A and B are shown apart, each in its own frame.
Chain A
């Protein structure tokens, strides 16, 4: 069942989670993913090209994202940054969406525990 499969892939690495976050909004090609992630967390999570693509390869292999066919692109709302047909576009799969949600829930749970122990403000035992 999909949910169980999503569970099995937790916890995600920080970079994998960030990539999924970026792709949840829209389909992007590799450079755009990098730019989004860098914008969000560039200072705390230095992003090397090789590392990014290894993470992409991981996500592809575990079925959390997929490559979009060139023909498919036109059919979806895809922001075309450059008119470059050689670029590969990536899209998050339903499994990927569920896994990202599961990871977010897991993180939320962890943060609540941290708040409860006064590590962060706003906790209630």
Chain B
């Protein structure tokens, strides 16, 4: 469904809901006709543009709602069943209450602005975070009956790695032997970059995803154009909606056209819908050649080639590169499917011990796989913003309470004239609702500004981040939230109005500025509560700040400054010797650029790429194939270690001789982590290892041990890595590292020219300094930190203004008392201590409760912390000091006013 059609459906639904305003008899007669006419006229209005249509819908719905109410309560003819008099009175008095509330608000604009502002902040911020939670975590995935879909991994119990891709042979066995799944399909567990040519225009770099022919049928989404894959399809391709728009302008004649993908022809057979994403980046395995987020095209996965087929044509079992998606049968649960597949995995382990011993299967809901990583951070933010909302509510409740005191005599007069308690309470609630309605509208405006900002700030890795929009669910949530806010903030003033003492109120005509002791306690409790909540938020924010500082302080194992990196696609050359020559010339050109200290290349640059792993056999150790240790595998070109600033701890690095093709003793370098894991306490130099369990593979001699680096992120511990010379086995899309003497950014142009001097067609992309890359690698942490800090600052601000408001009131209440004290000889300092002391007492009470709460709640944050304990001493010491300072600061101005009290005036007015 297009977005236009869904908007029409939404408008029709809204109109139908509004029809409920009419009485039942009227509805029986006319509702169907009215709805039908509305929809017909809406189609006409749409033809005049979206704006005209929106205005039309608004006016029609308003007319229906208003007309319906009129029919109910003020019918001209008696065809409607007569509504009880009470109902009509109710509506009229509520309208009167609303009008009264508006009058009150107009009379005290500052108060109204403050209250609505605080509410708008709370409601808007909560709405924005809720929209994110809704879009990322709650909304179902864009597949048919998504709750039935599961993700299947292989579970390497030998190395405690539960989410490993699956091999082709294991996939086929799981597919044929399972009894719990209605279908099981496979996708490559990574995106593969490719060159896309369609005859018109420049070649385009795209991301491809290969899936088995039945995958999209399993997911249950039909294409918007053309057809899906069929079982024997080869050399065909499905386009993503985005690519179809970008490259073909949405041309519907694209079906049947032939394009080139990596110089292989492929026929376009279909286009997938705009909201369709598969696989999500979070569904990919740890390996991968790029950090792309979406597939641009899909191709059928065929089990051919050396990753999938053995020499004898049987399917490969020990190379694992597939992610599996399954749909459970009717009535089958995920855990039942998990048991079923585990049983099959166990039988495979018995049948093929060399490759499968110790390998189990992991099954989890697809939704959790897609969004599970984002859950802790988002829920933390939702919790934080809810606290902010509560502080806003407490603030406004205090404001309303203060104002209700000022109106005590008005309330008393109304009671004397016969108003019931409920009537008075209702008026307070209506006032609260009107205020919160205004706050809600302000919150919606904030939402429209806030959501784009949120999306822009969010790390690009966040799953489904582009689908965070304000939609009906969000608006319903905000409506409910605003209503709850109105009722919550009005509860205390309502109770206060209902319990007012008529006699006292009438006697106190004119001033009425003192509160009963009970209400004073309530007021103090509200402020103490605000401070406690502010303590919670500030503590959380400070823990995150310290974690961030910790992460940025991590030594990545290489030198971050003065390092420029980029990726290239080497030209398609016929043989390794040609590649060698190409790289020789390129590095010579790069080394010659003035300002360059050292250059090198690698297949995986730290903090900027994913991984590829391999199993290694160690000479002299007899380990069954299934239990061979797994290490990260990298290739190093030129002076990679020097360029990166990675220290050689033992032995030597690669030399020119190691890169000569056909060298007698091929060399490899391992890192310290691998040495400590596989050769603890020994000198590994001189030992030999082999990649994979294949006995025909060549032995590599360890020539050196290099220092560890943090590869995936600064927070991950270094893993075992081994490097071979990239000149022996030249990569096609390496990352190049250039260490400069000065500013690395200044070399960008010269470096590009150097690369193009060797081959003018070489695509260069993702050129950035390592400092920028490090900054990007902590994008998610920075996102959560930024929001948490904003919440913390806002909470501090709201709490401080809450304290200020209350202290100002208290000072004005105690003016006579201050006058007496001054008359009896108190100095200005004594008065200052009096006021500030009271504020400090409130502050300390709030801080005490807040700190106790933090003790309980901070451990819930542990997943977001790094290098700092949840009960971090420094944080728990600093935050109370900040809050106490805020409470004292808030009392300064009221205190000064108190110090200027003239005892004569004060006593006279008593």
Contact = CB atoms under 8 A, between A and B. Distances in A.
B760 interface: no
B64 interface: yes
Contacts of A56: 30
A53 B67 CA distance: 10
A37 B81 CA distance: 30
A50 B29 contact: no
A5 to B, nearest CB: 15
B41 A57 contact: no
A120 to B, nearest CB: 31
Interface in A18-66: 30-31, 34, 46, 48-54, 56-58, 60-62
Contact of A54 (B37, B41, B67): B67
Nearest to A67: B29
Contact of A50 (B68, B78, B79): B68
A23 to B, nearest CB: 16
Nearest to B31: A53
B71 interface: yes
Interface residues of B, number: 24
Contacts of A49: 34, 37-38, 41, 60, 63-64
Given A57-B26, A57-B30, A30 B37 contact: yes
Nearest to A46: B59
Contact of B34 (A50, A58, A60, A87): A50
A88 interface: yes
A52 to B, nearest CB: 8
A50 B59 CA distance: 10
Contacts of A31: 36-37, 40
Interface string B30-52: 10111011101100000000000
A34 B40 CA distance: 12
A59 to B, nearest CB: 10
Contact of B37 (A34, A57, A62, A86): A34
B418 to A, nearest CB: 37
Contact of A61 (B40, B64, B70, B79): B79
Contacts of A51: 63, 67
B824 interface: no
Contacts of B697: none
Nearest to B61: A50
The prevalent SS among residues of B at the interface is helix
Contact of B79 (A30, A57, A86, A87): A57
Given A48-B60, A51-B67, A62 B33 contact: no
B77 interface: yes
Interface string B20-32: 0000001001101
Interface residues of A, number: 20
B8 to A, nearest CB: 16
A60 B77 CA distance: 10
Contacts of B253: none
Contacts of B60: 48-50
B851 to A, nearest CB: 58
B76 interface: yes
Contacts of B41: 34, 49
Interface in A76-98: 86-88
Interface in B58-91: 59-60, 63-64, 66-68, 70-71, 76-79
Nearest to B18: A50
B856 to A, nearest CB: 54
Closest 8 CB pairs of A and B: A48-B63, A50-B67, A50-B64, A61-B79, A61-B77, A50-B63, A53-B30, A49-B37
Given A50-B66, A53-B30, A56-B30, 11 more contacts: A48-B60, A48-B64, A49-B37, A49-B38, A49-B64, A51-B63, A53-B34, A54-B70, A54-B71, A58-B77, A86-B32
13 contacts: A31-B36, A48-B63, A50-B34, A50-B67, A51-B67, A53-B34, A54-B67, A54-B71, A57-B29, A57-B79, A61-B78, A62-B77, A87-B33
